[in-house]
Amino acid sequence: MIIPQFCSWVQNTRMASAIRTSTWLFPTIESVHVLAITIVVGSAAMFDFRLLGIASRDRTVTQVHREVLPWTWAAFACAVVAGFLMFSSDAVKYYENGPFRWKMFTLLLVGLNAAIFEFGPFRGVSRWDSEKKTPLSAKLAGGISLVLWVFVVGFGRWIGFTKQ
């Protein structure tokens, strides 16, 4: 019951109204969101491909992690802000939208997968860091991440076709 009330409150803010009524504000914010998501997914994929042994095999896992993670987090922060601004413009309808809910759930799974990897296989990275072959648990984390990000992007695209 509290979430629909929050959505209604957000949707009725001055900022949300400005985004909703402007001819250029929503498309501009959406463009920032799409660009940020592109960087998030691209940088995450670079790391996932290293875990799978498909790319960057000449570099250690920690090196790729250290170089890619700041880009991922910075772009993710931009995507969250832009996504929230778009959400605010019609929060009640977004909340009721199935693909939006699936996207949020899938993002939660992405975070859970990343946390399991960070607190699981990555803790022992010193044992397998420079090996071209990563342990199965790390490969699974990378593969699951790639699949989940495909679903996040797919559900995100689907929102625009189902929100009315």
Q: Are 57 and 148 in contact (CB under 8 A)?
A: no
User: How high is the pLDDT of residue 57?
Assistant: 75
Return the DSSP state at 134: P
pLDDT for 126 equals: 82
Please, are residues 97 and 164 in contact by the beta-carbon 8 Å criterion?
Answer: no
User: Dihedral of CA 45/51/53/55: which sign?
Assistant: positive
Give me the chain's average pLDDT, please: 90
Tens digits of residue pLDDT in 26-79: 999 999 999 999 999 999 999 999 999 888 777 888 889 999 999 999 999 999
Count CB atoms within 10 A of the CB of residue 53: 15
Q: Give the pLDDT score at 53.
A: 87
Residue 84 has pLDDT above 80, yes or no: yes
The whole-angstrom separation of Cα 130 and Cα 139 is 15
Please report the pLDDT score of residue 163 as a whole number.
62
- The DSSP output letter for 22 is -
Q: Is 35 exposed, middle or buried (0-12, 13-18, 19+ CB in 10 A)?
A: middle
**83-102: average pLDDT:** 92
